[in-house]
Amino acid sequence: MRIGISCYPTYGGSGIVATELAMALAAGGDEVHVLSYALPTRLSLVNPRLFFHEVVAAHYPLFEYPPWSLALASTMVDVCHHHRLDLLHAHYALPNAVSAVLAKKILAPHPVPVVTTLHGTDVTLIGNDPSYLPTTRWGILESDAVTAVSASLRDATVDQLCLAGKAIEVVPNFIDPERYEQARHHPGARRWAREGEKLLVHISNFRPVKRVLDVVKVFAQVAARLPARLLLVGDGPERARIEQHCREHGDCDRVVFLGNFPVIEEVLVGADLFLLPSETESFGLSALEALSCAVPVVASRAGGLPEVVVDGENGFLRPVGDVDGMAAAALSLLTDPERHRRFAAHGRQWATTRFAKAAIVERYREVYARAIAAARG
């Protein structure tokens, strides 16, 4: 198959999923063209069947806001035409799905089927804003196949965008079990810990929805009871506020800000606990990555997180904002080595059997085949 994949290039789950999928499809023999405004962080172009097309929105003095979605649609048309693509796969509804549908219409009478994958915030935080809702809804409705990364997101999409009649298939995020196997012999996250310290990790793009302040507050309660260190991985709008909080509370020597760190298993392997107290989370790829590295998770019971973290088996789920409950859950794991060992083993097993890359990539291939068949009538 010749597939075009459009995604955001920056740190964030949707770009990571799109990139890992692109590389896996190319490794399996498909020709894949990735379209974005910059080279996605994890995209390695060493496979000769993998191509990158930078989308450039030309500036003009009249444009206060250059129409990026139109530039994306134009690039899609160009790539579809010149590389004879069989299919466009848009990751994130806004504007990727809308631009893909526009490209499909422009390419008539030889349209290319569009598959859209919804990642979460494209529906629940921004796609449902009145300024975007009609176009988000249209992009989804006009896609030939739509997937969502969790049942929770599928239901929220149907509900919030009034899409009761639209088929949305759940295809979850995935992990590559091999990455942990290769990293488990490295010092991993222990590089940042002193002898005898418990190591807690949080990875995100530091947006308000991630509630990073809750992470620091949970950690403070843990660190009051036992020697511990917190690794904060990623960067984003909340980082300065969190750093300020740590300075004011004298936590700077125990809280390490690593910034964006592309090789995620190197900060997960060997860690004792992963924290993800998000306000909402359609799936929680970072939680799955932690489980796959045998790191139990304490998270909020929000969105699709209960589909990823099995409460009482490989982690604990507590209500959003329940800092005390999360701290108690964290301590119950960190002070009980036998329970911790059981949770870690369950997480690794759960992640690799339910969410292994090979099976999920195959699910996407099946969705592609159905979309192509349906478009051919």
Which residues form the interface with ligand GMT (CB under 6 A)? 12-15, 17, 92, 119-121, 149, 173, 205, 207, 209, 278, 280-285
Q: Shortest Cβ contact with ligand GMT: which residue?
A: 13
149: which DSSP letter?
A: S
Coil, helix or strand at residue 117? strand
175: which DSSP letter?
A: B
C-beta of 211 vs 340, nearer to ligand GMT:
211
- At its nearest, how many Å lie between ligand GMT and the CB of residue 195? 34
C-beta of 12 vs 113, nearer to ligand GMT:
12
The whole-angstrom separation of Cα 94 and Cα 317 is 30
- At its nearest, how many Å lie between ligand GMT and the CB of residue 155? 14
8 A C-beta contact, residue 11 and residue 20: no
**Six token digits for residue 200:** 């807690």
Written as one letter, the residue type at 305 is L
C-beta of 74 vs 147, nearer to ligand GMT:
147
C-beta of 174 vs 343, nearer to ligand GMT:
174
Closest by Cα among 224, 243, 226, 309 to 275? 309
The whole-angstrom separation of Cα 331 and Cα 31 is 48
- At its nearest, how many Å lie between ligand GMT and the CB of residue 162? 20
- At its nearest, how many Å lie between ligand GMT and the CB of residue 19? 11
- At its nearest, how many Å lie between ligand GMT and the CB of residue 40? 11
- At its nearest, how many Å lie between ligand GMT and the CB of residue 7? 9
- At its nearest, how many Å lie between ligand GMT and the CB of residue 173? 5
CA neighbours within 13 Å on the CB side: how many for 309?
31
C-beta of 198 vs 357, nearer to ligand GMT:
357
C-beta of 187 vs 259, nearer to ligand GMT:
259
Residues 6+ apart with CB under 8 A from 272: 198, 199, 200, 295, 296, 333, 334, 340
C-beta of 13 vs 270, nearer to ligand GMT:
13
Burial status of residue 185 (CB atoms within 10 A of its CB: 0-12, 13-18, 19 or more): exposed
| Angle separating helix axes 285-292 and 13-27, nearest 10 degrees | 60
Q: Is the alpha carbon torsion for 129, 131, 136, 138 positive or negative?
A: positive
Peptide bond into 109 cis (omega under 30): yes
| Angle separating helix axes 285-292 and 337-354, nearest 10 degrees | 110
**Six token digits for residue 142:** 């006009």
- At its nearest, how many Å lie between ligand GMT and the CB of residue 295? 16
C-beta of 120 vs 296, nearer to ligand GMT:
120
C-beta of 8 vs 192, nearer to ligand GMT:
8
- At its nearest, how many Å lie between ligand GMT and the CB of residue 58? 26
8 A C-beta contact, residue 180 and residue 211: no
Q: Would strands 198-203 and 228-233 be described as parallel, antiparallel, or unpaired?
A: parallel
